[in-house]
Amino acid sequence: MKLIRVATSEAVLIENGFFWSDEFDYKPIEQKQQFAIDGSLIIQEGKKKSGRPITLVPANDGMGWIKRRELSKLQDWSALQDEQFTLEFDYPHDNRRFNVMFNHQEGAISNPKTVKDIPAVSDDDYYSVTIKFLELKDAD
């Protein structure tokens, strides 16, 4: 998979060993229920237009690694305000593309640790990390 910065078309490759942990937790319909004074149920309902979370976590201890070089680039990109990206899946069965931004409210990049449990000695050392995005409505 890869993350493409829309403004510059730069891309960062992200290993396919990441798992979209909250893919099926999202509920596209927002609903509020309350009772009227006479006991009648009042239901207000609407469809969400954007904001679906995409949380990428390592599928297991041997997968979902990212080189320090790419992690540093993602960290830099996450510090850009109002920046949009394209997240592309690259699986034989799944080639979806998502218009996203970093989910800062939930900790855009979290739990970084070196795979070898020792300090990194090069930009090629691997890290395990959780990356959080929000899906945005596609531009019309």
Q: What residues form DSSP beta bridges with 66?
A: 127
Q: What are 117-131's pLDDT values in tens digits?
A: 888 888 889 999 999
Residues 5 and 77: beta-carbon distance below 8 Å: yes
Q: What residues form DSSP beta bridges with 52?
A: 135
Does residue 140 surpass a pLDDT of 50?
Answer: no
Q: pTM of this prediction?
A: 0.87
Total count of residues recorded for the chain: 140
Domain, as residue range, for 57: 2-24+48-135
pLDDT of residue 34: 97
Does residue 79 surpass a pLDDT of 50?
Answer: yes
Question: Which single residue is written with the structure tokens 């690694």?
Answer: 65
Q: What residues form DSSP beta bridges with 96?
A: none
Answer yes or no: is 19 within a domain.
yes
Indicate if the alpha-carbon torsion angle 102, 103, 105, 109 is positive or negative: negative
Q: How many domains does the chain have?
A: 1
Judged by average pLDDT, the poorest of 31-35, 72-76, 112-116, 131-135 is: 112-116
Answer yes or no: is 29 within a domain.
no
Answer yes or no: is 35 within a domain.
no
- CB atoms near residue 4 (< 10 Å): 16
Answer yes or no: is 67 within a domain.
yes
pLDDT of residue 116: 84
Q: What are 23-50's pLDDT values in tens digits?
A: 999 999 999 999 999 999 999 999 999 9
